[in-house]
């Protein structure tokens, strides 16, 4: 690796404005949000900011009764924060790759760990798979994002999108599933014979079956789902 002067390093790594869009990737692992109003982001994802920005964790009333009940039952959920004001905020999540998606009245489901940020025009709702919760450490919760605006999702390494058709269902390791189209409602299937072949975690015999018309995004990595201290203990 060649040695660079301090001036060369500062210049090459300097923040750049290549797009007027509110969400801009400074790199594949770092998102810049040009804040003018309000944006929702994963709590703890802010790495730097400048300007007059206020950060507030998602309030109890803003989560909705349904989401609160789901969190109480499972001990899990994605913690969001509001970013309000005028300025620039830089977001990242453990060096994961960031993908920006523009929704135009559409909906997608995203693994709760993989939601990084979304514009204020996007509605969010926690969904959970109860059968998985009893089989896997921490269970499996997802966030349904719908409306008009840009969402930022994350994945470990480069994601792969697989087409789902009525004659070709797709089976996925829950720990490697990132997102899927809003038209799909996966089923939980188990197969003991696949225990040594499909996945390596505690849910290695559990798969998600996607059938119908749509797509599913997977990553070459097994995610460890968030679980609050004491959750799931008898």
Q: Which of 76, 142, 132 is nearest to 108 (CA)?
A: 142
53 within domain boundaries: yes
State how many domains the chain has. 1
The Cα–Cα gap between 89 and 79 comes to: 18
6 within domain boundaries: no
Domain containing 146 equals 18-218
Sites in the chain below the pLDDT cut of 50: 60-61, 63, 65-66, 68-76, 137-139, 201-203, 226-234
List Cα–Cα distances, 109 to 19, 21, 95, in angstroms. Answer: 27, 23, 22
136 within domain boundaries: yes
Q: What is the pLDDT of residue 128?
A: 74
Question: CB of 70 within 8 A of CB of 112?
Answer: no
22 within domain boundaries: yes
pLDDT tens-digit series, residues 198-234: 555 444 578 899 999 999 999 999 876 544 444 333 3
**Helix, strand, coil percent content, the chain, rounded in steps of 5:** 15, 50, 35
**Is 205 exposed, middle or buried, given 0-12, 13-18 or 19+ CB atoms closer than 10 A?**
middle
- Phi-psi region at 28: left, alpha or beta (left = phi > 0; alpha = psi -120 to 50): alpha
Tell me the pTM: 0.81
2 within domain boundaries: no
7 within domain boundaries: no
4 within domain boundaries: no
10 within domain boundaries: no
CATH number for position 74: 3.60.160.10
């Amino acid at each position: 690796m060649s040695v660079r002067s301090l001036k060369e390093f500062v210049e090459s790594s300097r923040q750049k404005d290549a797009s007027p869009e509110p969400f801009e990737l400074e790199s594949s692992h770092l998102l810049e949000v040009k804040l003018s109003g309000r944006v929702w982001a994963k709590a703890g994802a802010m790495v730097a900011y400048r300007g007059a920005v206020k950060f507030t964790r998602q309030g109890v009333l803003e989560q909705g009764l349904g989401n609160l009940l789901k969190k109480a039952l499972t001990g899990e959920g994605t913690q969001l924060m509001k970013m309000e004001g005028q300025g620039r905020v830089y977001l990242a999540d453990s060096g994961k790759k960031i993908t920006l998606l523009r929704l135009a009245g559409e909906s997608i489901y995203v693994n709760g760990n993989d939601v990084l940020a979304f514009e204020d025009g996007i509605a969010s709702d926690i969904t959970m798979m109860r059968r998985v919760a009893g089989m896997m450490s921490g269970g499996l919760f997802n966030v349904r994002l719908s409306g008009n605006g840009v969402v930022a999702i994350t994945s470990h390494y480069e994601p792969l999108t697989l087409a789902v058709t009525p004659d070709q269902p797709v089976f996925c390791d829950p720990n490697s599933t990132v997102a899927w189209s809003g038209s799909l409602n996966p089923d939980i299937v188990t197969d003991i014979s696949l225990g040594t072949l499909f996945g390596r975690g505690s849910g290695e015999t559990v798969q998600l079956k996607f059938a119908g018309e749509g797509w599913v995004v997977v990553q070459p990595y097994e995610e460890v789902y968030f679980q609050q201290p004491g959750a799931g203990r008898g």
